[in-house]
Amino acid sequence: MSEENDNLLNEQEDNKETITKVSGMFKDWFLDYASYVILERAVPAIEDGFKPVQRRIMQSMKDLDDGRYNKVANIVGHTMQYHPHGDASIADAMVQIGQKDLLIDTQGNWGNILTGDSAAAARYIEARLSKFALDVIYNPKITEWQASYDGRKKEPINLPVMFPLLLAQGGEGIAVGLSTKILPHNFIELIDASIKHLKGKRFTIYPDFPTAGIVDITNYNDGLRGGKVRVRAKISQFDKNTLVITEIPFGTNTSSLIDSILKANDKGKIKIKKIEDNTAAKVEILVHLPGGISPDKTIDALYAFTSCESSISPLGCVIEDNKPLFVGVSEMLRRSTDNTVQLLKSELEIQLGEFEEQWHFASLERIFIENRIYRDIEEEETWEGVIQAIDKGLKPHTKHLKRAVLEEDIVRLTEIRIKRISKFDIDKAQQKIDALEDQIAQIKHHLANLIDYAITFFERLKRDYGEGRERQTEIRIFEDVDATKVVIRNTKLYVNREEGFIGTSLKKDEYVCDCSDIDDIIAFTKDGKMMVSKVDTKTFVGKDIIHVAVFKKKDKRTIYNLIYKDGSKGPSYVKRFAVTSVTRDREYDLTNGNKGSMVWYFSANPNGEAEMVTINLRQIGSVKKLKWDLDFAEVLIKGRASKGNRVTKHAIKKVELKEKGVSTLKPRKIWFDDTVQRLNVDERGELVGEFRGEDRILIITQSGTIKTIIPEITTHFDDDMIVMEKWIPKKPISAIYFDGEKERYYVKRFLVENESREENFISEHPNSQLEIVSTDWKPMAEVEFTKERGKDRKDNLKVNFEEFIAVKGISALGNQLTKDKINQVSLLDSLPYEAPEEIPAEEIEVVDETNVSDKNQIKKSSEDSTPNNNDDEAESDSLDDKGQTKLF
């Protein structure tokens, strides 16, 4: 029994040693799995820029390379010899490499990154290595190898890539608890940056996408975590009612882009008629607009509500020494360039060793044949004797050799054929040795000047492969689009004044205006209260509503004129104020706060108009003057919470509007910011001028079109715009142009005849071309003639436009400049002229735009008694509200 018990105890002990808890197994296996996904699947290596599957694909293509195309299915099968990836995943990875048009020369339907169309099946498409790939990726002599998964083949640990390939192609992957997103960069710019790094200069690199488009790299942050780039489609106006999208943002395709536009239209954010997709080799999406829809606002709305603008968050993560490394793109390029230098050094050292070996044997061969040492072995009967005889014969002649003669060298000498010995030419042998010495000297020079050699290498890459790889994505700083300013008014706002409700569902009540579902609404009541509230189906703001409108945040041009009674028996006050920012759904008291206060008169004036009203008093007691006029232009604009100026201490019977007023605001100063190609009022860029309500901007393009527009912040400008200035209707435009039909140069002066229409002022022949245009009062030009063979060049001709031609209609051909051939036409300094002065408006400093902050401040009055109210900012929108006037 004791033996049985001992055996049982031993078995129990053995079982205890083999038991492993599930939690421990899960921890070990999960870490193994996570490490495998990070290192072997998702994240590229910094050394060569490849993920493992990509590296195996490239090695397989090299194995199969014979200069001809191979079926992708064949390459996929060969790749599986290195690792049993799924055939579909290998094919997908290969298609992604091929679509980047750098390493693989493709044939067949490889899909379309613009439309999102997928590639054909792997058995139908073919591929071979590009010349660039063969040039910079492969060199088995400097490649480190490892056994494949089954030990049957050797695969590269890293390929010797002599180019910042990872930055050129970009990379994206999601691992366990880790991800990477490296954006593609421009081929030529990467080479230039590598050269700058080798020269010790500073450099910056920015993304460049194969889908082109526009990118704002303000917050790129060198591609590190936390950075962000904004990408936009390139949208322009095709005609009056049509927009055309010619480039799309990275990460989208035409199908997804059109879907996002249709969804925005269905939601009422934008309004379009139809979309045509004409994309083939290049993107062309036509967006047709209904009549009366602003193309400029629609462009901004496309950026605000569709995939025409998107944000990309880069994350630079790579594998280095089997560990994840978070690094910026500048450091990636530095490391890649330094790695290229080391690879070039290794390559040169191997070449040096090979040439020195060739020189060594060529020298031995010459000594062996020239001194007839081969005859010393004729009497030797053993192999050892042969070796010794040759060694003895060589010794007197080997002092100049760079290394000792080894037995392997002597064996090679014995393998020389008699035919070669009999035809040996001493001069040719010496020439070969001299050529090898030159090559050795050249390689040593390269090694001694390794940085210069690397710079020459990169310059050769740029020269050989840089053609056609110029930057595709335009770098531009974007101006933020205020969604509330470009959204389509897709619903109607109603008000029940008596009960105090506003909303979109009160269709039986009074219609106010069109609005959008992201607008804020401002409402004023008869008891002097004000509230801003979000658009909703039905909202209570207070009984006896006297004014409702869409609220514009930071709007200092809309001025409210108010006369109110302070308390039930108090005096009456007048005030003018703007409402720039408020806390939503908070009730503000515009009176002095006493019980029984009420509004006698109220008006909202979108351009600061100041009307004249008549004050009528009640006939009580000894009041003599019962009626007089009050001009709001004499009342200063003060803060919203100010008490105001006293009108009268007596009881008012009624207030009547006597005369509508004009704007008391200073003309708007408008600037043009060339960086973002937009107008603004916050002093960015170049001052265009001061604009009143009727003033317009003159725009002239290189293609010979002219138009005037009302200055709006949302305006988009053509790329070929050459003149943009404040339009002075009486100032003529002068131009010299080449008429393609008559093949002559003409001079013309004209005025803009139709301010609301775009017109051509040169002939529409395809060869017609605008040479110069001037908007000066008295411009001068100089004509340089072409030199005729055998004749002296004619003297330059100076043209005074005012004397050369009178002002005619815009459609007039003009006067012929000359019959002689012209080399070039250039503008000279204009003649002096004093332009008529404009009548200045009253200088009242008021900020005039709703979507930007201006440095002008509303005038303050010493009589103003302003309570300490803190106004919090609320969301807002802009709407051209005409204002409402109520009399009581």
Active-site amino acid positions: 124
Give Dmax over CA atoms of the chain in angstroms. 157
Three-state DSSP class for residue 396: helix
| Alpha helix segments (H runs only) across 371-449 | 383-394, 407-414, 418-422, 426-448
**Residue 741, CA distances (Å) to 442, 568, 744, 763, 814 in order:** 62, 82, 8, 8, 14
Residue 546 and residue 886 in contact, taking contact as beta carbons nearer than 8 Å: yes
Selection from 66, 393, 332, 237 nearest residue 707 by Cα: 237
DSSP sequence for 665-714: SPPEEEEEETTTTEEESSS-SEEEEEE-TT--EEEEETTSEEEEE---TT
Residue with tokens 């109607």: 492
The interaxial angle of helices 52-64 and 87-99, nearest 10 deg, is: 80
Residue 761 and residue 767 in contact, taking contact as beta carbons nearer than 8 Å: no
* φ and ψ at residue 744, rounded to 5 degrees: -140, 155
Cα 204 off chain centre by:
16
φ/ψ region of 500 (left if φ > 0, alpha if ψ in -120 to 50, else beta) reads: left
* φ and ψ at residue 243, rounded to 5 degrees: -110, 150
Three-state DSSP class for residue 52: helix
CA distance 637 to 577: 5
CA distance 552 to 265: 24
Selection from 493, 517, 490 nearest residue 503 by Cα: 493
Measured between its terminal Cα atoms, the distance across the chain in Å is 116
The dihedral over CA atoms of 326, 329, 333, 336, expressed in degrees to the nearest 10, equals: 30
- Amino acid identity of residue 333, one-letter, is L
- The number of beta carbons lying within 10 Å of the beta carbon of residue 679 is 24
Residue 317 and residue 329 in contact, taking contact as beta carbons nearer than 8 Å: no
3-state secondary structure 276-293: EECCCCCCCEEEECCCCC
* φ and ψ at residue 393, rounded to 5 degrees: -70, -30
Residue 207 and residue 229 in contact, taking contact as beta carbons nearer than 8 Å: yes
CA distance 226 to 314: 8
CA distance 256 to 262: 10
